Structure formats: C-alpha cells, structure tokens
Amino acid sequence: MLRAAFSAAVCSAALVTAVAIPAAIADAAENIAPVKIVALGDSLTAGYGLPEREGFVPRLRAALAAKGLVAEIVNAGVSGDTASGGLARLDWSVPDGTNAVILELGANDMLRGLDPQVAHAALDAILGRLKDRHIAVLLCGMRAAPNLGGPYSQSFGRIYSELAGKYGVLLYPFFLDGVAADASLNQHDGLHPNAAGVGVIVARILPKVEELIARVRADRGT
C-alpha cells in the first residue's frame, strides 16, 4: 500500500513538472513584446496576382511563427510603386512604434528604365529617415534586366550594396534570388512570383529576417 502510494505521488509530481515547464515557456513568450515590422515595397511585397494568404507577407509571417518568433508584420506593399513613391508615403506607411522595416523597392524604377541615381537618392533618403527614427532595416536588392545593357545594370546593381554599407543595414542582395527567369516559379507575366515562387523567396530570405529580429531584440535588451 505504502509503496503504491509513493509511486503514485512520484508519477503525479513528474506530470505536474512536465506540464509546468512548457506552460512557463509559453508565459515567457507571451511577455516578450512582439517585434513590429513593416514590409515597405511594391507589388512583390503586396502579393500581386495571388490570394492574400499566398503573398510574401502572410507566408513570411507563418514561417516566423513556425519558428516560435514573436513578430507582427504589416504589409505596406503598393503595386507599381517606385523608390520615390515609397519615400513620399514613408511617414504614414511606417507608423510610430515600428521596430524594423523590410525595404523592397526599386524594381519599378528599373522596369521603367529610370536613371539609377533617382532610385539611389530616394532609397538613400528613406534609409536616412529610418536611421533617424532608430528603426532597423533589411534592404532587399534588385537586379536590372539584361536587355537594359551592361552600364545600366552595373550602375543599378551598385545601389543596394553601397547604401547598405553607408547605413550599416542588413542586405539581402536579390529579392528574386532563385525565382527570376524560372517560368515554373512565376506568373504568366514573367515578372511576379506565383505561390511556389513566393515559397522560395520566403525560405531564402528567412535567415536574414531572423537576423533583423535579433538586432531589434538586442537593441532593446529582450
């Protein structure tokens, strides 16, 4: 009888401990303020041509949640937007309380053949203002289409690495890495990723987004 009672007590204590530890972890996670991220971009960010749940921001949000990372991501993508357009709406697209920005602009500047210095100046201004507001940034690069010629491609391609170095922000060199020019990963227009293409983008950029979140947490000591 005594032995049976003792065994039951030990089993009960073990069960309480097993339940209490995950509960404590969950409570701790709830007490961590979520990192508030704004994805500021064009149609690639907005999720052009896709059901809402298949767009870049919802898929990235789900990937972070699957890793247990506490983050809120606001989709501030506007189809057709240029870097200058992003600058013009910066203050209301990135509200007070934002901790980090995923900056994906410049593709429409390139597609319209605009002078690379125009995109450079606009992105420079955006990064400067975000720095003044102490907002961490992940800058997403873009490459020029081959038909625009070598000099244009070289000038355009330098924009992102130069600005990332100037402001010390994280850089993901090519937002469409692994997706561009692959018909199986793009919609019929050949410019916008399909659901499978978005999956590739999210998987490849995820480590950089994790690094962005880590920077925010380190800065605020959480």
In order along its 222 residues, the chain shows pLDDT tens digits of: 434 433 443 334 333 333 334 433 443 444 578 999 999 999 999 999 999 999 999 999 999 999 999 899 999 999 999 999 999 999 999 999 999 999 999 999 999 999 999 999 999 999 999 999 999 999 999 999 999 999 999 999 999 999 999 999 999 999 999 999 999 999 999 999 999 999 999 999 999 999 999 999 999 876
Residues catalogued as catalytic: 43, 189, 192
Same domain, 61 and 119: yes
Q: Indicate whether 10 and 78 sit together in one domain.
A: no
Same structural domain, 7 and 46:
no
Q: What was the pLDDT predicted at 28?
A: 44
- Expressed as residue numbers, the domain containing 73 is 33-220
Number of independent structural domains in the chain: 2
Report how far residue 89's alpha carbon sits from residue 78's, in angstroms, rounded to the nearest whole number.
10
Is 168 found in the same domain as 87? yes
Task: Give every CB contact of residue 135 below 8 A, 6+ residues apart in sequence.
Answer: 94, 98, 99, 100, 101
Domain harbouring 51, CATH code? 3.40.50.1110
Assess whether 180 and 208 both reside in one domain: yes
pLDDT of residue 33: 87
Distance CA 112, CA 60 (A): 28
Q: Are residues 4 and 61 in the same domain?
A: no
Q: Are residues 82 and 190 in the same domain?
A: yes
Is 59 found in the same domain as 133?
yes
Does residue 171 share a domain with residue 77?
A: yes
What's the pTM?
0.86
Considering the domain architecture, whether residues 168 and 191 belong to the same structural domain is answered as yes
8 A C-beta contact, residue 123 and residue 104: no
Instruction: State residue 222's pLDDT score.
Output: 67
Q: Are residues 92 and 132 in the same domain?
A: yes
| Bridge partners, residue 136, by sequence | 100
Residue 7 is predicted with a pLDDT of: 41
Backbone angles phi, psi at 46, to 5 degrees: -65, -30
Q: What does the buried/exposed string (b/e) look like for 207-216 if buried means 16 or more CB atoms within 10 Å of the residue's CB?
A: ebbeebbebb
pLDDT for the residue 31: 56
